[in-house]
């Protein structure tokens, strides 16, 4: 019966003539693929190694010409002048000032928005507010720079006398709004993950909603919140375009938020914009400053790892 | 009874201390709730003000000529053609390198690697790279791509810039790939291997197609981050004034380049108001490109979720 219906060739294949498993070829392909993809995975490790080696190599070159003592204790920064000075404290101070102003905005607003999104906002509204925050996170930083220099600074000038065109105040404020979505979104994940039973237990003891939030929910989510804040700090310290455009390029040792400062990142932009020749002292200075920046973010990262491991609460 | 008489002084003491003060606590609750709502909307308000401000000052400069003209020293006739093409070229180069390498690493880590030291090192490394400032990647690109590999890349060129951006978004693509692969049910893998397929055959023909929409979403979001990046490109050596769009050849890859964010940066940092207006116009174009990319990513994600 079946033989008459099926064409001859298919009948053959059904009997197994075309059954050639060729396992050795498949296994060879798999081996090659694993090797190739393993090499791809190594690219990300190589990136880290590359960053560290690059920075170390040029930083050593830098310290052969400039004494570490001057680098860490000098209070003037003028590497491009005829009489160069290399006091990194000046740039650290600028970075510190803009970051602190930014974090004064981003940490309270970010945490409060996280609490609001997770605890107070109705689910339907949350579905709209979270993507809106993500849009804020997706705005290119050069656009924030435009906003800080050409919209926020003129606005602040109307009621803050003595505010210069480039100032760390408006750069810091806008920096805060650029960092805010990072802190809000990651803290919200941590707060949202706290089990409902903890909240119910707190209500059962007679606590109000606010007391439950600040006394039970936030401490329970502490490790996630701290991790989000540390990542926010790293973003603020490494942020480039906002501070370059709005905080200016004058390396002065000041804590006055109305005047212009130079951060580590805006120094790197200033030098690279003007084509520094390889091997010049400016070129080496770039990497010494980059190394300082990298070490700061690395320390922050390790702190975050340690904190999360030490204080993470696991709930079933 | 004795128990009762023993407890009563304590009970009285507790009663004296027990002051619920519900009114005050509820008032504080309301204040806290209001403040947290204000904080939530502060971000939204700033976003709205920013967008409206840019639209108001930039819309007037948008025209067909603005898109196809080269930049100029006179803001009235300046356009964004070379940076726009530069951004598109960068996007293609970045995608060509970051997509296969990122997806390959993701597949390796999720499907093939055992729980060994290498896998762990890669994992820690990826989360570490996420916190490294983008300007540091710029220094890496300047040293490695623009200097050591100068004969290949042509120095501070389009290729160097694209490769630097590819390294920058690689961790994001790897993480997205791993999450998408993890969402594919194990039964699919088991079925494939039960039929005698090798691990790679199963992954290629069944697991990867299932995970692809998730991977694409993550990749598009990562690429949209890459084209907004300014700092690493400046450090690698993007030129702020390039009168011609790059050629579509190997020589074009090795030529000096500019990109939309670089052009915006250059115009914003000039003192004349005319340049500020065209900077706003360029920002509108850049944000439209980003909107299209993000929109397609969200569309893909929704389509994928409704299919499941």
Q: Does A112 touch chain B (CB under 8 A)?
A: yes
Give the 3-state secondary structure of residue B148: helix
Q: Find residues 33-52 of chain A whose CB sits inside 8 Å of chain B.
A: 33-34, 36-38, 40-45, 47-48, 50-51
Question: Residue A47: which of B121, B129, B143 has the nearest Cβ?
Answer: B129
Check residue B1 and give its pLDDT: 41
Question: Residue B40: which of A116, A234, A293 has the nearest Cβ?
Answer: A116
Check residue B125 and give its pLDDT: 87
Q: Which candidate in A25, A43, A291 is best for mutational testing of the B interface (most B CBs within 10 A)?
A: A43
Question: Residue A265: which of B42, B231, B264 has the nearest Cβ?
Answer: B231
Distance, in Å, from the CA atom of A280 to the CA atom of A271, rounded to the nearest integer, reads 11
Say if CB A238 and CB B135 are below 8 A apart: yes
Say if CB A65 and CB A281 are below 8 A apart: yes
- State how far residue B249 is from chain A, nearest Cα, in angstroms: 25
Distance, in Å, from the CA atom of B262 to the CA atom of A140, rounded to the nearest integer, reads 11
Question: Residue A116: which of B37, B101, B287 has the nearest Cβ?
Answer: B37
State which residue of chain A sits closest to B145, comparing Cα positions. A50
User: What are the pLDDT digits (tens) for B200-211?
Assistant: 999 998 899 989
Report residue B123 as tokens. Answer: 């994992």
- State how far residue B208 is from chain A, nearest Cα, in angstroms: 14
Beta-carbon separation of B40 and A275 below 8 A: no
Give the 3-state secondary structure of residue B263: helix
Q: Find residues 166-185 of chain A whose CB sits inside 8 Å of chain B.
A: 177, 180-181, 184
Q: Does A104 touch chain B (CB under 8 A)?
A: no
State which residue of chain B sits closest to A228, comparing Cα positions. B131
User: What are the pLDDT digits (tens) for A173-190?
Assistant: 999 999 999 999 999 999
User: What are the pLDDT digits (tens) for A116-143?
Assistant: 999 999 988 888 888 888 888 889 999 9
Q: Does A192 touch chain B (CB under 8 A)?
A: no
Report all structural domains of chain A as residue ranges with CATH numbers, in order of start.
88-311 (1.10.3720.10)
Question: Residue A41: which of B44, B122, B128 has the nearest Cβ?
Answer: B122
| ipTM of model over 0.90 | no
Which residues 6+ apart lie within 8 Å of B192 measured at CB?
A: B201, B202, B205, B206, B207
Q: Does A274 touch chain B (CB under 8 A)?
A: no
Task: Inform me whether the pLDDT recorded for B2 exceeds 70.
Answer: no
Choose among A249, A204, A198: nearest CA to A220: A198
Distance, in Å, from the CA atom of B82 to the CA atom of B260, rounded to the nearest integer, reads 9
**Dihedral, CA of residue A112, residue A239, residue B132 and residue A267, to nearest 10:** -150
- The more confidently predicted of residues A13 and B297 is B297
- The more confidently predicted of residues B139 and A26 is B139
- Report chain A residues whose CB lies below 8 A from the CB of B279: 146
Beta-carbon separation of B132 and A33 below 8 A: no
- Report chain A residues whose CB lies below 8 A from the CB of B112: 34, 37-38
Check residue B137 and give its pLDDT: 94
User: What are the pLDDT digits (tens) for B96-143?
Assistant: 999 999 999 999 998 888 777 887 888 888 888 888 999 999 999 998
- State how far residue A93 is from chain B, nearest Cα, in angstroms: 18
Distance, in Å, from the CA atom of A227 to the CA atom of A231, rounded to the nearest integer, reads 6
Question: Residue A290: which of B37, B102, B139 has the nearest Cβ?
Answer: B139
Question: Residue B136: which of A34, A184, A293 has the nearest Cβ?
Answer: A293
Burial annotation B99-130 (CB, 10 A radius, 16+ → b, else e): bebbbbbbbbbbbbbeeeeebeebbebbebbe
User: What are the pLDDT digits (tens) for B62-85?
Assistant: 888 888 888 888 888 888 888 898
- Report chain A residues whose CB lies below 8 A from the CB of B196: 21
Percent of chain A with pLDDT over 90: 56
Place of tokens 């019966």: A1
Check residue B12 and give its pLDDT: 59
State which residue of chain A sits closest to B107, comparing Cα positions. A37
Distance, in Å, from the CA atom of A244 to the CA atom of A260, rounded to the nearest integer, reads 10
Check residue B223 and give its pLDDT: 92
pLDDT band of B153, cuts 50, 70, 90: confident
State which residue of chain B sits closest to A248, comparing Cα positions. B269
Place of tokens 């003539």: A17
User: What are the pLDDT digits (tens) for B258-267?
Assistant: 889 999 999 9
Give one DSSP letter per residue of A286-301, joined into a string.
HHHHHHHHHHHHHHHH
State which residue of chain A sits closest to B171, comparing Cα positions. A44
- The more confidently predicted of residues B239 and A273 is A273
pLDDT band of A214, cuts 50, 70, 90: very high
- Report chain A residues whose CB lies below 8 A from the CB of B38: 112
Domain segments of chain B as ranges: 2-60, 64-307
Beta-carbon separation of A269 and B231 below 8 A: yes
Give the 3-state secondary structure of residue A160: coil
Check residue A20 and give its pLDDT: 65
Mean pLDDT, rounded, of chain B: 85
- Name the superfamily (CATH) of residues B64-307: MetI-like (1.10.3720.10)
Check residue A2 and give its pLDDT: 44
Beta-carbon separation of B139 and A237 below 8 A: no
């Amino acid at each position: 019966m079946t033989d008459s219906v099926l064409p001859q060739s298919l009948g053959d294949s059904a009997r197994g003539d075309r059954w050639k498993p060729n396992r050795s070829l498949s296994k060879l392909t798999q081996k090659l693929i694993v090797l190739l993809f393993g090499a791809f995975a190594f690219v990300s490790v190589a990136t880290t190694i590359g960053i560290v080696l690059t920075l170390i190599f040029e930083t050593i070159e830098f310290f052969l010409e400039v004494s570490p003592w001057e680098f860490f204790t000098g209070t003037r920064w003028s590497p491009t002048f005829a009489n160069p000075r290399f006091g990194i404290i000046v740039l650290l101070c600028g970075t510190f000032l803009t970051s602190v102003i930014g974090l004064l905005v981003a940490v309270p607003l970010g945490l409060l928005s996280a609490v609001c999104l997770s605890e107070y906002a109705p689910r339907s509204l949350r579905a709209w507010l979270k993507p809106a925050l993500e849009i804020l996170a997706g705005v290119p930083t050069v656009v924030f720079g435009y906003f800080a220099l050409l919209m926020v600074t003129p606005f602040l000038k109307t009621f803050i006398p003595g505010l210069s065109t480039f100032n760390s105040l408006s750069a810091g404020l806008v920096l805060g709004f650029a960092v805010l979505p990072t802190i809000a979104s990651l803290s919200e994940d941590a707060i949202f993950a706290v089990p409902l039973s903890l909240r119910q237990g707190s209500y059962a003891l007679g606590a109000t909603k606010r007391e439950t939030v600040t006394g039970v929910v936030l401490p329970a989510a502490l490790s996630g919140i701290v991790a989000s804040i540390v990542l926010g700090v790293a973003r603020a310290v490494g942020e480039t375009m906002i501070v370059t455009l709005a905080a200016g390029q004058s390396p002065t040792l000041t804590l006055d938020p109305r005047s212009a400062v130079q951060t580590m990142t805006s120094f790197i932009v200033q030098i690279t914009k003007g084509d520094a020749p390889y091997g010049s002292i400016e070129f080496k200075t770039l990497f010494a400053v980059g190394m300082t920046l990298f070490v700061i973010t690395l320390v922050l990262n390790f702190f975050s790892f340690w904190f999360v491991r030490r204080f993470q609460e696991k709930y079933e | 009874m004795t128990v009762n008489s023993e407890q009563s002084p304590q009970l009285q003491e507790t009663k004296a201390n027990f002051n619920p003060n519900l009114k005050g606590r509820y008032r504080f609750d309301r204040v806290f709730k209001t403040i947290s709502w204000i904080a939530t909307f502060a971000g939204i308000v700033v976003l709205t003000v920013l967008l409206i401000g840019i639209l108001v000052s930039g819309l007037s400069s948008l025209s067909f000529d603005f898109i196809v003209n080269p930049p100029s020293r006179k803001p009235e006739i300046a356009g964004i053609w070379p940076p726009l093409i530069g951004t598109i070229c960068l996007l293609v180069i970045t995608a060509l390198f970051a997509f296969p390498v990122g997806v390959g690493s993701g597949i390796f880590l999720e499907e093939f690697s055992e729980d060994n030291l290498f896998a762990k090192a890669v994992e820690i490394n990826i989360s570490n790279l996420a916190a490294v400032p983008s300007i540091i990647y710029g220094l890496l690109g300047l040293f490695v791509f623009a200097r050591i590999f100068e004969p290949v890349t042509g120095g501070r060129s389009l290729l160097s810039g694209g490769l630097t951006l590819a390294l920058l978004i690689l961790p994001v693509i790897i993480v997205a790939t791993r999450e998408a692969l993890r969402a594919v049910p194990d039964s699919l893998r088991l079925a494939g291997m039960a039929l005698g397929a090798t691990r790679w055959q199963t992954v290629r023909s069944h697991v990867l197609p299932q995970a692809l929409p998730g991977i694409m979403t993550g990749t598009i979001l990562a690429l949209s981050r890459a084209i907004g990046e300014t700092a690493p490109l400046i450090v690698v050596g993007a030129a702020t004034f390039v009168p011609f769009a790059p050629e579509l050849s190997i020589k074009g890859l090795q030529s000096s380049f500019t990109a939309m964010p670089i052009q915006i940066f250059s115009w914003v940092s000039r003192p004349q108001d005319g340049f500020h207006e065209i900077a706003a116009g360029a920002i509108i174009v850049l944000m439209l490109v980003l909107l299209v990319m993000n929109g397609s990513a969200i569309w893909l994600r929704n389509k994928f979720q409704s299919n499941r």
